[in-house]
Structure 1
Amino acid sequence: MNNDYELIALDMDDTLLRSDKTISDETIESFKKVRDAGKYVVICTGRPVAEIAPYDEQFKEMQYYICESGALVYDHFAKKPAARHTIDTSAMEAIIDAISHDDVMVQVMVNGASIVEGAKIPNMAHYQMGVYVSLYSTVAKKVDDIIPVIRDNAGSIEKINVYHTSREASIRTSERLAAKNLPIERIYAETASLELSPKGIHKGVGIADLASSLNIPIEKTIAVGDADNDIPMLKTAGLSLAVANANGHAKAAADLIIPDNNHDGCLYAINKYLLG
């Protein structure tokens, strides 16, 4: 088996993480094998650093996290950002207007932190995000009103997630933003989430920038994902893999389909394609 690949980037939710948000012991053990082989396994997620922190011990063999869909590359060993991109300040008022038309829960990411309206956390199932109640209760910074947070942190916000009650509602918000021709990226995630990132920034940029900084040719990278926000990295990496539970768009963008997230698909990818 060809084991010339040097780096594998794994999406977290519904890819590396099982449905109960855990990781198998065998997969965790494989991270050390990768490091011992002089190669890299990295997380490439839409989550901010704060939401990866509960897994820091399990990820102790990983030096880098590509966070916030490529907006922040974090050096886990040095405990500091290696690269960072922020949303243009000119977009903020238009974003505020666009999200004011529907019942939404908004998450703002600043310097790797997660900021949300605390009163909405117990009701996250209403926004199709119920599985994250415990995580947000633990790691998110809680505020009473998210709008002043957006205004006060203009120029420092890496990413904004807008959680809706339905996919149709997220499409309406996306269409309102598209009509404003803003310098942002819009991408769907989860069941009814809309992710807003700096213009030109996505997971594909994150994996390309990290590979370049490590002097790894992009053709020697592997990406594993399951959803629309993974498609840019699936199209960028030298080998793209979709877990069997991935949506149709991600599967169409992938070179190969591997076992699902509940049957150690990422472990399969590491052993077969990275370690060989």
Structure 2
Amino acid sequence: MNSPTIELILSDIDGTILDEQHRIDQKLPQTIQQLKKQEIPFILASARSPRGIFPLAEELQLGDTPIACYNGALILEGNATNYQTITEHALQSNDVVLILDVIKRNFPQVSISLYSGIEWFVDRTDKWTDIEAAITKDSPTVQDLQLFLLENNQPIHKLLLIEESAIIQELHKFLQKLPLNDTSFYLSKDNYLEVTSKEVSKEKALIDIANYYQIPLAKTMTLGDNFNDIPMLELAGLGIVMQNAPQEVKNSADIETLSNNDYGVSYAIHKYVLAKK
């Protein structure tokens, strides 16, 4: 295909710029420096929290480039010590209260993580929070979540619900029947259920960031590997999918690159962006 001239790149993190060992594509830091010379922003977009993204942004020397956290529920500009909000979409507190109550009553074994701004709260630590902490290099604050909601008026950007796959699938079906006002659910893994506002998606994050830079969507490129990446892969001028992605995700993209273990992101940027300059 004749690929468009790219002026903005939005990339997923896990399974995309990170390999199976959660290590950054070793060729990417140098590639990003080449993008900087061409004044092409490279944006990280993930279900991760800011604390799970800022260290990667620093390792990649992205400077104050925006990051899209919680799949776009919170878009920040800056760094870990000095940042400002560009856009945010919080869950409605009544929805969160109802969801927590249902889980406590009917699915007490499910691990609940609540994210507000850069903060990560849990009502207990368990094997699931330990796994997530190891992946994101972040640590949660233990807090009675229901009491937290009563005593604080902080925006809730995401809930992450984790357990064995069969239980999460059952919980997913249960929650979809609740009378919620502004809540959407999606599985980022077969045992990870993400809960955000209906206004949140990587597609909308791409729109927000393209508007921020005043760059047409036709001149954007997105890279991803999972189901929550499909909307941004379809919307961008050039959607690049990783070789390690499920077939359904591959079907949504324009081009398939190498796998996350074979520097697929760097390869795609060199072939479809830098080689055209």
The 4+ residue runs of structure 1 with deviation greater than 6 A are: none
Alpha carbon RMSD of aligned pairs, Å?
2.1
Q: 1:151 to 1:170 in 2, by over 3 A?
A: farther
Provide structure 1 residue ranges, at least 5 long, that are not aligned to the other structure. Answer: none
Q: 1:230 to 1:150 in 2, by over 3 A?
A: farther
Aligned partner of 1:171 in structure 2 is 169
* SS in structure 2 of the partner of residue 38 of structure 1: coil
The match for 2:120 among 105, 114, 119 is 114
Cα displacement (A) at 1:265: 0.8
Matched, 1:209 2:208: yes
Matched, 1:87 2:114: no
Do 2:227 and 2:249's aligned partners in 1 also have CA atoms closer than 8 Å? yes
Q: Deviations over 1:32-83 (max 9, x none)?
A: 1111101111101000101113324213225111111010111135622211
Q: How many residues of Structure 1 are paired with residues of Structure 2 in the alignment?
A: 268
Instruction: Name the CA distance, whole Å, in 2 between partners of 1:222 and 1:152.
Output: 42
* SS in structure 2 of the partner of residue 51 of structure 1: helix
Cα displacement (A) at 1:181: 4.0
User: Is the deviation greater in 103-112 or in 93-102?
Assistant: 93-102
Cα displacement (A) at 1:151: 4.5
Do 2:12 and 2:46's aligned partners in 1 also have CA atoms closer than 8 Å? yes
Matched, 1:180 2:175: no
Q: Deviations over 1:111-169 (max 9, x none)?
A: 1222234521xx12xx8x83x34246x52232054343345456610111111211x32
* SS in structure 2 of the partner of residue 188 of structure 1: strand
Letter in 2 for 1:67: C
Cα displacement (A) at 1:19: 1.0
TM-score by length of 2: 0.88
Do 1:74 and 1:80's aligned partners in 2 also have CA atoms closer than 8 Å? yes
Letter in 2 for 1:275: L
Instruction: Name the CA distance, whole Å, in 2 between partners of 1:3 and 1:29.
Output: 23
TM-score by length of 1: 0.89
Do 2:26 and 2:263's aligned partners in 1 also have CA atoms closer than 8 Å? no
Instruction: Name the CA distance, whole Å, in 1 between partners of 2:139 and 2:151.
Output: 18
Instruction: Name the CA distance, whole Å, in 2 between partners of 1:99 and 1:156.
Output: 20
Cα displacement (A) at 1:175: 1.5
**Greater helix share, structure number:** 1
Do 1:92 and 1:154's aligned partners in 2 also have CA atoms closer than 8 Å? no
Aligned partner of 2:61 in structure 1 is 60
Aligned partner of 2:259 in structure 1 is 260
Instruction: Name the CA distance, whole Å, in 2 between partners of 1:189 and 1:153.
Output: 28
Q: 1:90 to 1:117 in 2, by over 3 A?
A: closer
Aligned partner of 1:149 in structure 2 is 148
User: Is the deviation greater in 31-40 or in 244-253?
Assistant: 244-253
Aligned partner of 1:219 in structure 2 is 218
Q: 1:238 to 1:189 in 2, by over 3 A?
A: same
Aligned partner of 2:101 in structure 1 is 97
Cα displacement (A) at 1:207: 0.9
Cα displacement (A) at 1:216: 0.5
Do 1:67 and 1:73's aligned partners in 2 also have CA atoms closer than 8 Å? yes
Letter in 1 for 2:112: V
Q: 1:247 to 1:2 in 2, by over 3 A?
A: closer
Do 2:66 and 2:76's aligned partners in 1 also have CA atoms closer than 8 Å? yes
Q: Deviations over 1:211-256 (max 9, x none)?
A: 0111100111111111111122112211111101112331121122
Instruction: Name the CA distance, whole Å, in 2 between partners of 1:148 and 1:245.
Output: 42
Matched, 1:7 2:5: no
Letter in 2 for 1:171: Q
Letter in 2 for 1:76: G
Instruction: Name the CA distance, whole Å, in 2 between partners of 1:160 and 1:154.
Output: 16
Instruction: Name the CA distance, whole Å, in 1 between partners of 2:178 and 2:66.
Output: 35
Q: 1:274 to 1:76 in 2, by over 3 A?
A: farther
Q: 1:268 to 1:59 in 2, by over 3 A?
A: same
